[in-house]
Amino acid sequence: MKHSVNRPPTPDAAEDQGKEPTLQEIINIKLIESGEKERLMELLRERLIDCGWKDEMKALCRAHVKKKGRNNVTVDDLVHLITPKGRASVPDSVKAELLQRIRTFLMSAAL
């Protein structure tokens, strides 16, 4: 099998080289390993659909594709297009809810 030949070093190698993992990294790994990140992602998806954020982004993308033509737009173009607007238009209540959930998780994970 081709893909097993050129495997890059495993994640532990980073710590062997003396690189301190950032706090963000540590939290991220804890979230993933416990499965909490998946749950948070699902919650976020639901919230963003409910408040119409997803529809807004979809409409932006559609307008862009209509303007440029179906064959002249790539995924990267669309990501570049909606990222700033998307980040800015997430409702504060959604941000607050997710932050609260993460805080609760961190307390219970006894970091």
Partner 1 sequence: MSSKINGHVSPQPCPHLLVFRSRNGPKPFRALQDCIRVKPPGGRAAIRREPTEVPRCGTCEESSRSRLYACVACAAVFCHAPLLHSHASDHSLSIPGHEIAVDVDRAELFCCACGDQVYDRDFDAAVVLAQTVNATATTSTSGSTAMQCSVAGSQPENLRKRRRVDYRPWEPDSGEHISRGNQSIPLLDATNASLVSSTQQPWGFRGLNNLGNTCFMNSILQALLHTPPLRNYFLGDRHNRYYCQQKNGAINGTKNSRLCLACDMDALFSAVFSGDRTPYSPAKFLYSWWQHAANLASYEQQDAHEFFISMLEGIHEKVEKDKRKSQSPAGSGDCCIAHRVFSGILRSDVMCMVCGFTSTTYDPCVDISLDLEPNQGGSGKSSSAKSLNSFNFEADCMRPNQNCGISTLKGCLERFTRAEKLGSDQKLFCQKCQVRQESLKQMSIRKLPLVSCFHVKRFEHSSIRKMSRKVDRYLQFPFSLDMAPYLSSSILRSRFGNRIFPFDGDEQDASNDLSTEFELFAVVTHSGRLDAGHYVTYLRLSNQWYKCDDAWITQVNESIVRAAQGYMMFYVQKVLYYKESENQGTS
Contact residues: partner 1, CB under 8 A: 1-9, 11, 14, 19, 24-25, 28-29, 32-33, 35, 38-39, 41-43, 45-46, 50, 62, 70-71, 74-77, 79-80, 97, 100-101
Shortest approach of partner 1 to residue 76 CB, angstroms?
4
Shortest approach of partner 1 to residue 71 CB, angstroms?
5
Nearer to partner 1, 6 or 92 (CB): 6
C-alpha to C-alpha distance for 70 and 48, rounded to whole angstroms: 26
Nearer to partner 1, 62 or 85 (CB): 62
Shortest approach of partner 1 to residue 39 CB, angstroms?
5
